[in-house]
Amino acid sequence: MRVRKVVLSKVPFNDAASIQLTSAQQNVYYIEDTREDSGAGEVYSVLNETGNIPDAGFVVLNNIPVSADGRGMFEERFQNRAGLVEKEPGFKAIRILRPETSDTYIVMTVWKSKEYFKKWQESNAYNHAHKKRGTKEGLGSSIFPRPSYVTEYTI
Read off the pLDDT of residues 55-86 as tens digits, 9 standing for 90 and up. 999 999 999 999 999 999 999 988 887 788 99
More confident residue, 82 or 106: 106
Residue 91 CA, chain-centre distance (Å), reads 13
The helix (H) or strand (E) run that includes residue 45 is strand 42-51
Range of the domain at 26: 5-154
Residues 6+ apart with CB under 8 A from 82: 128, 129
pLDDT of residue 129: 73
Do the strands 5-9 and 58-65 form a parallel or antiparallel pair, or are they unpaired?
Answer: unpaired
Instruction: State the CATH number of the domain containing residue 39.
Output: 3.30.70.100
Number of domains in the chain: 1
pTM: 0.86
Give the span between the Cα atoms of 155 and 142, in whole angstroms.
35
